[in-house]
Amino acid sequence: MKKIIFIVIGVLLLSTISYCAWRNMTYSDGARAGYLVKISKKGVVFKTYEGQLDLSGIGISGDVGGGARNIWAFSVSDDEVYKELQKYEGKKVSLHYKEKMNSFPWQGDTNYFVDDVEVLTRE
């Protein structure tokens, strides 16, 4: 009987570790450019950093200026990146991100996690 309990606990532990690793696996990474609409700390139980990037202002959606907006929502897990993003609200930026398979609730509202920001200047 002890052997069966040990095997069941081992299988459950291995399954839990595998599931957590799968959910946190990086699916893709890349960069998106646009105007930083907002960045904030939000949440009732889990406080996370959430932001929005307006992609339409740079011609991606084909409508420059006051046309239809194409908003991309993202999460930030690093305090330093969050503080950096606060400086650039309303500015044109390029955000490097990693897309997770499926984030946990305490990680953020989205599966996109920004890990670097670069300010784009008009030339």
Which domain CATH number covers 59?
A: 2.40.50.140
Domain membership of residue 44 (yes or no) is yes
Domain of residue 69: give its range: 26-119
pTM above 0.85, yes or no: no
What is the average pLDDT score of the chain?
Answer: 84
Domain membership of residue 39 (yes or no) is yes
Tokens representing residue 16 in the block: 């839990």
* 81 φ/ψ angles, rounded to the nearest 5 degrees: -65, -40
The answer to whether 36 and 88 have CB atoms below 8 angstroms apart is yes
Domain membership of residue 12 (yes or no) is no
Taking the C-alpha atoms of residue 32 and residue 55, their distance in angstroms, rounded to an integer, is 8
- Radius of gyration, CA atoms only, the chain: 19
Residue 122's Cβ-count burial label (10 Å; 0-12, 13-18, 19+) is exposed
Q: Is the pLDDT of residue 96 over 90?
A: yes
* Confidence category of residue 94, pLDDT binned at 50, 70, 90: very high
The answer to whether 113 and 74 have CB atoms below 8 angstroms apart is yes
Domain membership of residue 7 (yes or no) is no
Domain membership of residue 74 (yes or no) is yes
pLDDT tens-digit map of 37-70: 999 988 888 888 999 999 876 544 444 555 567 8
